[in-house]
């Protein structure tokens, strides 16, 4: 299971634990009566199909309401993290400390009075319509209850450090689903729910303690700057090399790109031919490579210039990897700029970098765009800023401006976007180490250790 899947699974489980918490489980009958407009006796009877359909419809609309609140919170939290990309390492550690405290609160080790304040919304009138059930859900989400507060706060904190807005929303969406599914099931099988509620209560405290322990572990991993590496590099280290070599040995020359994979790759002497075969996407006409063509290990990085995590990796992690591996001739690094489509002026930045590449100044423009990322992302008009970066990078500014205005290099960006889509890239940065996908801004030490082991293995095998 990769890091993204693991995070969604944990978020879903957190929603289930929230449903079983002492502050929600006892109130479920009241909420069901409120949103369905049925009395408890009517819910218990539910002999008629109309009553059952009404229970399913209105409980679903209720969960839709509080789901909208939580996913909006996730979107805002991730947006906050991206806005402060430069401070993310520090924010991650602070967030880790907060999550540890929240976990200790659930374990009963720490008592935080602020977390024990009741903030439940009161909706006195029963909803008279479908819209009323949604509004009740919105009120429920906005007026959260204390026992769930630490779990929800922890999920929100973790979503702050997601690389894309969609990932932050997905994380809260998984949490919402974990809370919504048992709620709807309770509405459909109300008698079964009532009979099983006493048994579920016995599990509420152990589950809460277990959730607290998990939060403490997650928080400590974040403090130690290890959380992004969990799952991404925890698998079999040999898988990247063996999987890539197996693909090459079998001569795989087709991809999932609808039969458009070039037939000449198997016989091409281009430096990117071998890695293209392994990845199933033609890389020969996109991106920019540095390092020895015959280096034992090839890394392909897909990044968006607007991504704060890409900036963090480029400015804090990559220089050390470059000095240790690329300059030593053991790693060939290919950087592919593409447009994820969620960052302000990301497309213009990609076009500008390609026009710098027209003058063989891509690397210098790459540095300028990342160094001044917050400036051009917050600007209304970016053309004058990009021209200034081009001048600082030693480009012929008139030729650069002409390239941008005429779109002479736009086709390279569009080709990179198609390659990213074929590879299933959904976030940035995404790396392919000898063809093996690794997602996220992996910290220096895990990345360095992984590369060192792979280089040693490949060098020995030669």
Over residues 447-460, mean pLDDT = 91
Q: Report pLDDT digits (tens) over 131-158.
A: 767 776 676 665 554 445 567 777 776 6
Q: 403, 355 in Cβ contact below 8 A?
A: yes
Q: Could you tell me what percentage of the chain is helix, strand and coil, using 3-state DSSP and rounding each to the nearest 5?
A: 65, 5, 30
Flag the least confident range among 74-78, 179-183, 263-267, 388-392. Answer: 263-267
Q: Which residues contact 242 (CB under 8 A, 6 or more apart)?
A: none
- Segment of 6-10, 370-374, 458-462 carrying the highest mean pLDDT: 370-374
Length of the chain: 462
pLDDT of residue 198: 57
- Confidence at residue 250, expressed as pLDDT on a 0 to 100 scale: 39
- pLDDT band per the 50, 70, 90 thresholds, residue 241: very low
- In degrees, rounded to 5, the angle at the alpha carbon of residue 235 between the alpha carbons of residues 234 and 239 is 140
pLDDT, tens digit, 9 for 90 and up, residues 408-418:
999 999 999 99
Across the chain, mean pLDDT equals: 75
d(CA 433, CA 279): 10
Cβ within 8 Å of residue 266, ≥6 positions away: 251, 253, 273, 277
Enumerate the domain spans of the chain.
3-229, 238-461
Nearest to 418 by CA among 260, 244, 251: 260
> Is this model's pTM higher than 0.85 or not?
no
pLDDT of amino acid 239: 37
Residue 5, φ and ψ in degrees, nearest 5: -65, -40
pLDDT, residue 401, reads 96
Mean pLDDT of 430-440: 90
pLDDT at 285 over 70: yes
Residue 299 has pLDDT above 50, yes or no: yes
pLDDT tens digits, residue range 171-229?
A: 788 888 888 888 788 777 765 665 555 555 565 566 566 666 766 776 676 666 554 43
Place of tokens 């996220």: 440
CA gap 8, 77 in Å, rounded: 16
pLDDT recorded at residue 5: 55
Segment 451-457 mean pLDDT: 92
Q: Return the minimum-mean-pLDDT range out of 27-31, 59-63, 98-102, 448-452.
A: 27-31
The pLDDT of residue 159 is above 50:
yes
Look at residue 64 in the predicted model and tell me its pLDDT.
83
Among 187-191, 275-279, 297-301, the range of highest mean pLDDT: 297-301
pLDDT value, residue 232: 37
Residue 462 has pLDDT above 80, yes or no: no
Residues 336-371 pLDDT 10s:
999 988 899 999 999 999 999 999 999 999 999 999
Topology, domain 238-461? Glutaredoxin (3.40.30)
């Amino acid at each position: 299971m990769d890091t993204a899947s693991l995070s969604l699974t944990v978020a879903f489980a957190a929603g289930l634990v929230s449903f079983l918490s002492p502050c929600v489980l006892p109130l479920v009958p009241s909420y069901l009566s409120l949103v369905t407009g049925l009395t408890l006796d009517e819910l218990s009877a539910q002999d008629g199909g109309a009553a059952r359909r009404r229970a399913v419809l209105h409980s679903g609309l209720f969960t839709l309401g509080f789901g909208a609140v939580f996913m909006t919170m996730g979107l805002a939290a991730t947006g906050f993290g991206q806005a402060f990309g430069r401070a993310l390492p520090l924010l991650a550690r602070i967030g880790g400390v907060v999550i540890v405290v929240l976990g200790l609160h659930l374990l009963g080790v720490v008592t935080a009075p602020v977390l024990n304040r009741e903030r439940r919304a009161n909706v006195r009138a029963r909803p008279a319509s479908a819209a009323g059930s949604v509004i009740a859900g919105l009120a429920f989400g906005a007026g959260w209850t204390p026992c769930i507060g630490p779990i929800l706060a922890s999920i929100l904190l973790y979503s702050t450090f997601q690389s894309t807005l969609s990932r932050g929303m997905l994380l809260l969406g998984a949490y919402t689903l974990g809370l919504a599914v048992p709620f709807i099931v309770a509405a459909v099988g109300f008698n079964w729910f009532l009979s099983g509620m006493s048994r579920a209560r016995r599990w509420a405290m152990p589950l809460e303690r277990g959730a607290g322990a998990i939060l403490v572990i997650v928080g400590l991993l974040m403090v130690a700057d290890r959380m992004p590496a969990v799952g991404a590099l925890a698998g079999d280290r040999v898988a990247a090399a063996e999987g890539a070599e197996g693909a090459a040995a079998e001569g795989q020359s087709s991809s999932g790109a609808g039969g458009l994979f070039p037939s000449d790759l198997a016989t091409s002497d281009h430096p990117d031919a071998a890695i293209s075969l392994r990845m199933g996407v033609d890389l020969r006409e996109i991106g920019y490579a540095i390092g020895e063509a015959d280096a034992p290990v090839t890394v392909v990085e897909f990044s968006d210039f607007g991504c704060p995590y890409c900036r963090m990796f480029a400015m804090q992690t990559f220089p050390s990897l470059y000095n240790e591996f690329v300059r030593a001739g053991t790693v060939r690094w290919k950087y592919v700029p593409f447009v994820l489509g969620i960052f302000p002026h990301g497309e213009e930045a990609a076009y500008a970098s390609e026009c710098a590449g027209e003058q063989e100044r891509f690397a210098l423009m790459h540095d300028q765009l990342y160094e001044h990322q917050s400036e051009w992302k917050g600007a209304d008009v970016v053309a004058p800023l990009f021209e200034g970066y081009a001048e600082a990078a030693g480009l012929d500014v008139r030729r650069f401006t002409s390239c941008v205005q005429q779109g002479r290099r736009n086709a390279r960006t569009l080709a990179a976007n198609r390659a990213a889509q074929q590879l299933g890239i959904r976030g940035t940065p995404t790396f392919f180490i000898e063809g093996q996908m690794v997602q996220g801004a992996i910290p220096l030490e895990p990345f360095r250790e992984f590369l060192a082991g792979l280089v040693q293995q490949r060098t020995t095998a030669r």
